[in-house]
A and B are shown apart, each in its own frame.
Chain A
């Protein structure tokens, strides 16, 4: 009895099956599909950009702009309203931030544009408290109907808080951007 055994083994060239990110998380294709998405994060990273797989081990690979947060809110009166909150963390640090706010009231219609810079320090540790070093409001562009409106940047607890104040009787849509550096 004679036997001939032919084995044909095709070894593919080196191909990626795991996509590892800056933070050592890994994205793994599912059904041969890898999602390459983008987003922003308030994480502090010196480069201003980072990659991550989220959730770790999933098929989602993200490219993120860092040190950045945005917010939206609608006001209908003159109540101070938080639009964005940046926690300072438990490590003692100094943050310099800059940003802007846009406001739109459709019924009048009227608009506004604001810009600001600020520096804050926190005390660190379990009972860390944010301390304002300085805040400057640079642009305050407002049409007549929005003249009573304001933007505030304050320290609250261990957070930096951006607040907006609208106008009684007007529905105002707000949009904000903050970028920061931390040391």
Chain B
């Protein structure tokens, strides 16, 4: 009598095949790789959909988990002259809300980097879903080197948009970089 024993012994520890994030979506490894990346939810216009009280959020898609700081926007622009250019255009959505925002804007002469400026600000405004009412603005710091005299930041509202613009100096290419943090209540 011949006997053949086949012992197929697969070792299967409990390993995650799904990673579920705050948004309820799941990511699954691709070729045994899961990507955990820092990201930026809601890049571009401020959107109240991306309002999270904790200031942090995870989202999952495909084989990637994104970890993002929320309620935060950044913007970049270059000005060739003294005309105002929009650095941030904040679309406030259709729901009545009050916002408090605070942030910084820095400017650097392009190419040479020989001149700089920095500003900080805070503001509160309210939207009824159609228009924006400015409650107050505080221009806190305004550090400007002499060669940058005339550079400025400005705030306007158009419809339900809150706009932060920057203005440079004629004939000088200036790179601008800004960050806004925001909180809201309904």
Chain A residues engaging chain B, CB cutoff 8 angstroms: 1-13, 15-17, 28-30, 32-40, 63-65, 68, 70, 72, 100-104, 106, 109-115, 138-143, 173-175, 177
Contact = CB atoms under 8 A, between A and B. Distances in A.
B56 A177 contact: no
B22 interface: yes
Interface residues of B, number: 57
A111 B122 contact: no
Interface stretch (B74-82, B83-91, B97-105, B159-167): B97-105
Contacts of B128: 109
Chain A to chain B: the 7 pairs with minimum beta-carbon distance, closest first = A113-B124, A141-B136, A111-B98, A113-B100, A111-B126, A141-B124, A175-B185
19 contacts: A7-B9, A8-B8, A12-B12, A12-B15, A17-B13, A35-B19, A37-B22, A38-B67, A100-B183, A106-B96, A109-B128, A111-B133, A112-B135, A113-B98, A113-B123, A113-B136, A138-B140, A139-B122, A175-B183
SS class, residues of chain B in contact with chain A: strand
A115 B122 contact: yes
B5 interface: yes
Given A15-B13, A33-B16, A173 B54 contact: no
B15 A141 contact: no
Interface in B105-147: 122-126, 128, 133, 135-138, 140
Contacts of B140: 138
Nearest to A106: B96
Contacts of A34: 16, 18-20
Contacts of B18: 32-34
B100 A115 contact: yes
A113 to B, nearest CB: 3
A142 B135 contact: yes
Contacts of B4: 3-6
Contact of B1 (A1, A28, A33): A1
Contact of B56 (A15, A63, A100, A175): A63
B21 interface: yes
Contact of A29 (B7, B16, B100): B16
Interface string B1-35: 11111111111111111111110001000001000
Given A29-B14, A32-B15, A40-B55, A8 B6 contact: yes
Nearest to A28: B14
A141 B135 contact: yes
Contact of B98 (A5, A17, A37, A103): A103
B184 interface: yes
B53 interface: yes
Nearest to A19: B16
A68 to B, nearest CB: 7
Contacts of B19: 33-36
Contacts of B60: 36
